[in-house]
A and B are shown apart, each in its own frame.
Chain A
Amino acid sequence: MSQSATAHSSTAPHYFVPQPSTWPIFGSFALLFMALGTTLWMNDVGWGKFVLIGGLCILFYMLFGWFGTVIGESEGGLYSKRVDISFRWSMGWFIFSEVMFFAAFFGVLFYMRVLSVPDLGSLDNRLLWPEFTSSWPVAGPGIRESFQTIPAFGLPAINTMLLLASGITITLAHWALLADNRPALVRWMIATIALGTVFLFVQGYEYAHAWRDLNLQLDMGAYGATFFMLTGFHGFHVTIGTIMLIVITFRCAKGHFTPENHFGFEGVAWYWHFVDVVWLLLFVVVYAL
């Protein structure tokens, strides 16, 4: 400590270490109640859902408070360049963890299409499932009901266009921010949110149509499970991304961010591009192929 404590102090960027905080413990209680409530609810204990809702309320309270604190610290000028770099690294690694989460489900889809379904239709399983022949899309040898799939070049193609367009509008918003053109920034952000919201509505409509008219449901074996889990988790991420966009837009409108310093904006943009890329993969391997 002593060896250089003074030599460096004028040039070394000080690193912001936050004060003790009660937000984390709220988050812990939230997740505890959510886990307990969901377990009770799934096992047919009716009041479990109230425990779950209670947990969710605590979670939203925590998220509001915690992010509010961070925004306050950021606007208060407490975050140096080095803190900014920390945020960049961490957002990158967080998105990497999300990539791995989706990779697991893409791997499952690959395994079912290429390995387990053909195997069930092969000679090895003829004794057990004599009538089953391997094909795709398919529910599986033990499921008698039939279902139809959603053609790729209908609503899914429109959704692809919507998300690709939102990738463009958020980039235009970023350029407007860099040019310090606040009205254009807010306009392009609102356009991005609108595209994301329309995407979600189209996806919701498609789900209702699949569930009711096409008999494509979660219990439709290999296709039903992979279809709904992949598109469902993607839709969940688009929802989170849209909420993030809304928060950022309010901040833009309030005058937060500068052309030099706006990691909060960029982090959301990275995340939005990530859900966009996942959708492109989904469009190809779930809908088109």
Chain B
Amino acid sequence: MQATHSHLAVHDHGAHAQPTGLMRWITTTNHKDIGTMYLWFSFTMFLVGGILALLLRSELFQPGLQLVEPEVFNQLTTMHGVIMVFGAIMPAFVGFANWMIPLQIGAADMAFARMNNWSFWLLPPAALLLVISFFVPGGAAAGGWTLYPPLSVQMGPGMDLAIFALHILGASSIMGSINIVTTILNMRAPGMTLMKMPLFCWTWLITAYLLIAVMPVLAGAITMILTDRHFDTHFFNAAGGGDPVLFQHVFWFFGHPEVYIMILPAFGIVSEIIPAFARKPLFGYTSMVYATSSIAILSFIVWAHHMFTVGMPATAQLFFMYATMLIAVPTGVKVFNWVATMWKGSMTFETPMLFACGFIFVFTMGGFTGLILAITPIDIQLHDTYFVVAHFHYVLVAGSLFALFAGVYYWLPKWTGHMYNETLGKAHFWLSVIFFNITFFVQHFLGLAGMPRRVPDYALQFADFNMISTIGAFGFGFTQLLFLYIVVSCIRGGEKAGDKPWEGAQGLEWTVPSPAPYHTFEVPPVVR
């Protein structure tokens, strides 16, 4: 009785009093609006972080110092990392979660629609703080995105601004994650049991759990940096019984789950796309769920593999080495399942599928270099070289970013009601994958030959590979403008998309019209 009553009340209310213009976006409680804002914000940050990366690559085009001062180079390195991790990749996945999770589980909206708005609107102030930090005395934070002391304890106010920006981004992530977990656990349509849920929802459920567990730990770590900087504590100072390595332990306890936070939703997107274009159900759904959970649990006990060179007991090094290698097992399960899904499928290669297949190839290469780096004696050689840079760009750019592109092309017809330009989409894929490899494949050789990362100058023998890498980076950067053009022209027009534009696609999101109406599933569907 009460439910019916409130239904009417809300419905009446919803019919009018909808703000328009800018106020619509500032006040919105609609998961689609908020998802759209997340996606545009992250793309903007992606371009900003990309410009910083191109400045870095320009400096590294030739040996010697030509473009920026070394301290500016350090600021660019740091802010490129912070912006790409916290400003581009993470919000992009949250944007997908906002758009797709309610549509995939048959919910009317996110569980806490107003808090959802705040989760998004905390991002622009944080981004503003990061931008301002370039213009304060001493410039932006320059200790690397990992903010290791003693560097981070010594720097100017730019570090304080970065710390507060991370606090705000962390609050946003925790609220967003609580929202996602609650939505998935409580708002599924009747009949949508957990083990019937699309894999994207499963990966996000586990990602949100990781975020709630580790973002507070990052908050603690950077708070201690702040008190060491301004309030005379000695957490990271040996003179006061502290230890700079202590920060590394706390940071990487956050940091390693963080890298899975950035890849698990990518696994989810790829697990949606490959069955759709292979026209076969996903092979080994249950094992996918268990593999994702195993990766999440293991991610808490591998952190010190980032610290093999700081001086740890051999027992600890062995433990972290073996624990890290263990992660290859569930990750391998996933890769085999994707390949087995394609096996004997009737496959077509539209742009989402191209990006998904590209993801499997290139991400797996990043996985292999990860296994190499997990081996302690090898890591001691390769620590802080370009081999590490190549490794994590293979998993973060070709992993997370390619999966994000795949997801955009896959769901763009549902979001906009139009088909994107398939020819240009394919061009975007091939240019991206080729320029990506030109940029980063050569960095393996640079690292193996001993070129250290985060240094603006280098020995002459590294000149050729660096030149190649810079050319690739500019190619990759400009290719993303093509992506922008494709998305904008898809929003503005193009071939009408049907409710289910992909023949083999599965899931509730394809049962609503394209473009998805402003309100969907106000009455939950029944899933059989």
User: Interface residues, chain A, CB within 8 Å of chain B?
Assistant: 1-5, 7-9, 12-25, 27-29, 31-32, 35-36, 38-40, 42-43, 66, 77-78, 80, 82, 85-86, 89-90, 93-94, 96-98, 100-101, 103-105, 107-108, 111-112, 115-117, 119-120, 138-143, 217-225, 228-229
Contacts and interface: CB of A to CB of B under 8 A. Distances in A.
**Which of A77, A108, A120, A219 has the most chain B CB atoms inside 10 A of its CB?**
A108
B241 A222 contact: yes
Given A93-B181, A101-B219, A222 B240 contact: yes
B121 A28 contact: yes
Given A17-B10, A111-B249, A141-B238, A32 B3 contact: no
Contacts of B234: 140, 143, 219, 221-222, 224-225
A86 B96 CA distance: 21
A138 B24 CA distance: 57
Contacts of B24: 20
Given A93-B181, A225-B227, A116 B242 contact: yes
B521 A31 contact: no
B5 A77 contact: yes
Contacts, number: 258
A11 B122 CA distance: 37
Given A35-B129, A86-B111, A100-B212, A43 B6 contact: no
B377 interface: no
18 contacts: A1-B511, A4-B525, A12-B523, A17-B10, A17-B29, A19-B29, A20-B24, A25-B27, A43-B157, A66-B114, A78-B10, A97-B178, A111-B246, A116-B238, A140-B240, A219-B234, A219-B240, A221-B240
A46 to B, nearest CB: 14
A57 B510 CA distance: 46
B116 to A, nearest CB: 9
Q: Which 10 A-B pairs have the closest CB atoms?
A: A142-B239, A222-B241, A104-B220, A140-B241, A221-B240, A24-B118, A35-B164, A101-B216, A219-B232, A20-B27
Given A17-B108, A108-B235, A225-B242, A35 B114 contact: no
A116 B237 CA distance: 10
Interface residues of B, number: 96
B64 interface: no
B108 A225 contact: no
Nearest to B218: A104
Contacts of A142: 237-240
Interface stretch (B182-190, B367-375, B466-474, B476-484): B182-190
B459 interface: no
Contact of B17 (A3, A19, A94, A138): A19
B17 A39 contact: no
A36 B223 CA distance: 16
B178 A94 contact: yes
A3 B521 CA distance: 11
Given A17-B10, A17-B108, A112-B242, 9 more contacts: A17-B113, A20-B27, A35-B165, A40-B157, A82-B186, A108-B220, A111-B249, A112-B241, A143-B239
B241 A116 contact: yes
Q: Determine the main DSSP class of A at the interface with B.
A: helix
B121 A24 contact: yes
A77 B9 CA distance: 10
Nearest to B246: A111
B174 interface: yes
B18 interface: yes
Contacts of B245: 116
Contacts of B124: 28
B6 A225 contact: no
Contact of B220 (A13, A32, A105): A105
Given A8-B190, A78-B6, A104-B220, A140 B238 contact: yes
A36 B109 contact: no
Contact of A218 (B168, B182, B232, B521): B232
Contacts of A104: 216-217, 219-221, 250, 253
A218 B160 contact: no
A35 B170 CA distance: 14
B131 to A, nearest CB: 12
Contact of B523 (A5, A29, A117): A5
A3 B178 contact: no
A38 B240 CA distance: 25
Could you say which of A5, A66, A93, A224 has the most chain B C-beta atoms within 10 Å of its C-beta? A93
Given A100-B217, A111-B249, A20 B241 contact: no
Contacts of B65: none
Contact of B250 (A35, A108, A219, A225): A108
